[in-house]
Structures are given as structure tokens and as C-alpha cells.
Amino acid sequence: METEIASISKELLQRSINAEKLRYCYGCGTCTASCPVAKVVPENFNPRGLLQKIFFDLNKTLTEDELWLCAWCYTCYERCPQELKTTEIFLLTRNLAVEKGYFPKQPTALIKLILRSGRTLEVTPARDRKRAALGLREIGETVSEKALREIKIITEKSSTWRVRE
């Protein structure tokens, strides 16, 4: 594939606490060599390649699924000889993607679930009864009213938050 070279994203640099270290990346591949995802689905994910794409053509990267495949295991973050804050850079880049209006399906659905219930997993009455049967406290379909309300308020207060129900 071919790309025009875009100018490096000042956005990313300004926003990130660590992204400027991206410039020190000499592409040694320590990250990819350490990456569990790259190990099993190499054709879909290559952190080194992704970092270089972010560096060379941020805008193009924003719409790429690859961006959402980092499993934040922090192995590359731990080993990078140049101390690139890889995992954090990926998170920040996802922020930019969302700002540009790119909402990946599953994650967005999960976010909505959180806004609804305060959890990433649903608790049906049936499951709650199962808890009871095991002698565990019933927790209801959502977290406490108060907690749920606070989540709502915080997300509504935030000017940058984009996912609405």
C-alpha cells in the first residue's frame, strides 16, 4: 500500500506525557518480539510497525483496527531500550481516534454498558440468585444508585467525553 507522508502529530506530542520519546525509536523490534498478540496474530498486529505508523502518518493510523489490538500487557513497555511508553502511546492515540469520531464496535458497546450498569459485565437476576445460592451478597443489575449517578454526572460534566447512551 502507499501513503503520503503527513507531518508528525503535534497533537499527540502535546497531549502525551511521553510521546516525544517516540522520536528515539530506532525500530529495533524489542516490542514486537515481546508482544503476546503479535505472537499469535502477527498478520493483524505489530506494535513496532504501529508505533512507526503513528510517528509517520498518525491520521491514517486513527482509523485502523490494529490500534485497538494492544492488550496493555506492558511487556514492551517494560523492555523498550529507549523507554518509549508504548502502551500509554497506544491509549493516547485511541483517544485521538475517538475524537475524530471513530468508535470501534465492541468497545463502544461495553462503554455504554458501563454507563448503564457501572460494570463491564451484565448481572441478570438469574445470575444474582446464583450468587445468593453460593452464599455471596446479591449485587443487583447495577452498582449503587449513588455510584451510577456519579458516573453519569462526571461523564456529562466532561467536555471531552464523547460516548452517550
Partner 1 sequence: MENVGSVTVIGGGVAGIQAALELAKLGMLVYLVEEKPSIGGRIIELNCSSCQLEVPMDCSICPVIPKMVECHNHSNIRLLTKTHVTGFSGAVGNFVLSVLKQPRFVHEDRCTGCGACAEKCPVEVFDAFNMVQGKKKAIYFPVPQAFPQIPVIDKENCVHFRNGNCKKCSEVCPTHAIDFSDEDMKIGIESDAVVLATGLSLYDPAAIREYGYKRYKNVITILDLEQMTSIHGLTGGRVVRISDQKKPRRIAFIQCVGSRSRRTGNNFCSGVCCLYTAKDAALVKMLLPETEVYVFYIDLRVFGKGYQELLNKVRNDLGVKYIRGRPGGIWEDPKTKDLIISYENTLIRRAEKLRVDMVVLSPALLPHPSNQKLAEILGLEVDEDGFFKSPNPVASPCDTTLEGVFTCGYCRGPRGIAESATQASAAAARVAETIALTKSRRVKR
Partner 2 sequence: MREDNPNQVPRIGVFVCECGANIGNVVNIPEVVENAKKLPGVSFVERDVSLCSSAGVKHVKDAISKNGVDRVVFAACSIKNYGSLLEAACEAAGVNKYLISFANIREQCAWAHYGSPKGATRKAINLVGMAVARVQKSEPLKDLELEVEPSTLIIGGGISGMTAALCLANQGFRVFLVEKEPELGGMLNKLYKLYLTNQSVSEVLSPIIEGVTSHRNIKLFTSASLKEVEGHFGDFEITVSANGGIEKFRVGTIILATGAKVFEPSGMYGYGDKEGIVTQLELEQILKQEKLKRPGKVAMIQCVGARGEEGVPYCSRICCMVAVKNATLIKRLYPDCEVYIIYRDLQTYGKENEEYHAKARELGIRFIEYTPENRPEIIPNGNGKLRVRVYHALLGETLNVDSDLVVLSTPLIQHKGGEEISKMLKVPLGSDGFFREAYMEMQSVALGVNGIYVCGAAQGPKSIDESITQAYAAAAQAASPMLLKRVKIPAITAEVDEERCIGCQLCMDVCPFHAVIFEEGKSMIIEAVCRGCGNCAAGCPSRAISMKGFKDEQILAEVQAAFKGE
Partner 3 sequence: MNLEYSLFPGCVPSAREFSCEVSARKVFEALDVELHDVGDFTCCMPACLVHSFDYVTGLALTSRNFCVADEFNRDILTLCVSCYGNLSRAKKLMSENGDLRRRVDELLAAVGKSYGGKASVKHSVTVLYEDIGIESLKKNVTKTLKGIRAAPFYGCHLIRPREYLSFDDPAFPVKLDELIKVTGATSVMHRERAGCCIGCGSFFGEVAEEAALRLSVDILDSAREAEADCVIVTCPYCFLQIEMGQLLFKRRTGELYNLPVLHYTDLLGLSLGIEPKELGMDLHKIDPTPLLERIK
Q: 89: Cβ–Cβ under 8 A, 6 or more apart, which residues?
A: 12, 16, 18, 19, 22, 51, 54
| Residue 101 is a binding residue for partner 3 (CB under 8 A) | no
User: Measuring CA to CA, which residue among 67, 23, 31, 71 is closest to residue 48?
Assistant: 31
Select the residue interacting with partner 1 from 49, 59, 110, 116 (CB under 8 A).
Answer: 49
Least distance CB 40 / partner 2 (angstroms)? 19
132 binds, among partner 1, partner 3, partner 2, none (CB under 5 to 8 A by kind): none
105 binds, among partner 2, partner 3, partner 1, none (CB under 5 to 8 A by kind): partner 3
For residue 160, what is its C-alpha cell?
471531552
Q: 14: Cβ–Cβ under 8 A, 6 or more apart, which residues?
A: none
Alpha helices in 44-104 (DSSP H): 47-56, 58-62, 75-79, 86-99
Give me the residues that bind partner 3 (CB under 8 A), please.
Answer: 15, 17, 36-37, 39-41, 44-45, 65, 68-75, 77-78, 87, 91-92, 94-95, 98, 104-107, 110-111, 114, 118-123, 127, 130-131, 134-137, 139, 143-144, 146-151, 153-155, 157-158, 160-163
